Amino acid sequence: MKTASTAVVKWQSRATGASADYVEGARTTDKDQAARAIAAKAIYQQALTESFARDSFAKGLSKSGKQGWIKGVEEKGASNFATGTASDSARTKYVTESSKYDSARKAADPLPKGGKGSQQNINRAIAVMQALRAAKIGK
């Protein structure tokens, strides 16, 4: 009889060797992942509502805890983060998405500056915040 301990060894060995198959499957599929996910948004919303009603979110986080999160960061997150942020596609996507906010970040430029904690500086911060929000929601 196979146990979870023996099955995981086989699973890791086979899955690790299948990364090229994973990429090839994504490249050659005739299915549109984004369109299918959009079409299922009502199901997703229902599943989230049911999950929150069962308190699954908090239960899952409690199960792993801070140590589980740190372990994941150390074992997977660090290398995935470095690989992802160093890619050309990440650079392009960052510039494309961030540039939408360039003018909003300059919203305070025409407003007068004041001393630390002054109403003028608060007004400048509010102007930038409102401009960033408007840019985000498309107003």
Domain boundaries, the chain: 31-64, 99-137
Q: What is the mean pLDDT of residues 5-25?
A: 89
Matching residue, tokens 């690790």: 16
d(CA 115, CA 112): 10
Q: What is the pLDDT of residues 36-86, one digit of tens each?
A: 999 999 999 999 999 999 999 999 999 999 999 999 999 999 999 999 999
Flag whether the pTM goes above 0.85.
no
Q: What's the mean pLDDT when you consider all of the chain?
A: 93
d(CA 128, CA 116): 17
Contacts of 57 (CB under 8 A, 6+ apart): 51
